[in-house]
Amino acid sequence: MRIFVAGHKGMVGSAILRHLESHEVDGLFLLRDKKQLDLRDQAAVRSFFREHKIDQVYLAAAKVGGIKANHEFPAEFLYDNLSIQNNVIDSAFRFGVQKLLFLGSSCIYPRDSRQPISESDLLAGPLEKTNEPYAIAKIAGIKLCESLNRQYGATSGVDYRAVMPCNLYGPGDNYHPENSHVIPGLIRRIYEAKVSGAASVSIWGTGAAKREFMHVDDLAEAAVTVMKAPLSVYKNLTYKTPSHINVGSGEEVTILELAQLIANKVGFDGAIEVDPSKPDGTPRKVMSSKIVRELGWSPKIDLNGGLDTAISDFTSHYCFYS
């Protein structure tokens, strides 16, 4: 089996590749970094698929970032993600790939969704403005997979699936001081505050927003579980909802509680200050993971232990970020 893991150097793609390799999946892994294959280049992507006769695709490549990056670069978050996923999904279909897994994000759901969020809540209300362009791109990816299944599933055997994880963290994360997601951003800022002897660290918003976090290795296991599920089982579980599946840990914490937990773990004893002039984003976002749990998956890494591995990953590579 020839398996293309798109985005294999990113946090999610590398975790999926680790899981596939460690569980002795019988396959040849096709891997290309950004310099070797620009997934925004339609002609290059089509040529790659034409040449390599790929059997399965894990589409983890994306332009990602935290609330600040989404606020400052909305055009890139929309255009680049649409380009990447359209090129990969379309080329997969054109060149006979029957199985594909698309990785999305919980930000696809309305800002004021009921809690916990179900797959059927997609498009039920307005999106959170701070990450709307990214969310729209991911929704388009879900709908492209869904539409190809509906139009060509019976005649061509197309089986394109999608999973929507909650907020992720873990080894290989992006620790950029301004454009990272919340956990890696907090780890870096609080660690540097400790090193510099700063008296305090400021976090965006009121600190009251609640988020669900999951270790990326748990997501990788869930992704492979969804991909390997028999088509009849997958269809039976998703026939009443849009064809994607939520994947969450069920662990929820406020941003302020998270910052304080990280501060304790890195040994920072200064003050954690909130900045209400900055946006909180969605007030609360916890997902229902009932469907994926019916496939036999459940998370194995809790937030407390997972943060230890994330902090260790950051500190062991800190010289490269400085």
Q: Where are the domains of the chain?
A: 2-172+212-249+285-301
- As a whole-number percent, the residues of the chain with pLDDT over 70 amount to 98
Distances (CA, A) of 86 to 42, 61, 210, 263: 9, 12, 32, 41
Kindly report the CATH class assigned to 2-172+212-249+285-301: alpha beta
Spans of the chain, pLDDT less than 70:
24-25, 319-322
| Percentage helix, strand, coil for the chain under 3-state DSSP, each rounded to 5 | 50, 15, 35
For residue 74, give both structure tokens: 């909305």
Q: State the catalytic residues.
A: 134
pLDDT on residue 24: 63
pLDDT on residue 282: 83
CB 180 within 8 A of CB 173: yes
pLDDT on residue 322: 55
Sole residue written with tokens 């969704």: 113
CA–CA separation, 320 and 315 (whole Å): 10
CA–CA separation, 281 and 284 (whole Å): 9
**Any residues with CB less than 8 A from the CB of 232 and at least 6 apart, and which?**
none
